[in-house]
Amino acid sequence: MSIWGIPSVEDQPTVTLIRWRVLRLKYKKVSIDFVLGWCLEDGHARMSTPIKHHDAVARTLTTKSGRVYVVEGAPDYDDDAQYIAEEHFGHAAAKAKDVSAEYFDDVIRAAQAIHNVALDSVVVLSSAPSSSFIAESDKDFQPNAKLANTLNRRRIQKNK
């Protein structure tokens, strides 16, 4: 995939994004927020310069370049937009944090409506079986010793 140039801000002062996300990238003591997504006007993925202002009601983000991004729908992942971010920022792009909800609180309300969860709800996995399952799934894979011994014995018997 190749990355194309984009029209100047004067030629295209406003763009509309779907499958968009606002990501926060931290490098040393500096963090920048930028928006990426699928541009309806151009029919390809876009990534912005750092965000300088946003209007939650109008659903717009104004960037350092002066371009205004209008975001439509809920935030979503776009492979092509992620590719652009990774080409620009390298491995740091994969560590960027999705902060879309900090810009548009309707994202939180929509998620709440879909999942029927209160904003102040906390989900706790306190039961021993679920906690131990999570702890076990986080460990590196270790083959079962009993199974490994059985397989070794069968292999040895088969080779005799």
Query: What pLDDT, on the 0 to 100 scale, is given for residue 154?
Result: 63
Total domains in the chain come to 1
* Within a domain: 136: no
* Within a domain: 77: yes
* Within a domain: 114: yes
Q: Which pLDDT tens digit goes with each residue over 123-132? A: 444 444 444 4
Enclosing domain of residue 28: 14-122
102-126 b/e (C-beta count within 10 Å ≥ 16 → b): ebbeebeeeeeeeeeeeeeeeeeee
* Within a domain: 2: no
DSSP codes, the chain:
--------TTT-SEEEEEEEEEEEEEETTEEEEEEEEEETTTTEEEE-S-EEEEETTTTEEEETTS-EEEE-SS----HHHHHHHHHHHGGGGGG-EE-HHHH-THHHHHHHHHHT--TT------SHHHHHHHHHHHSPP---HHHHHHHHHHHHHHH-
Over residues 70-99, the mean pLDDT reads 91
Residue 56 has pLDDT above 70, yes or no: yes
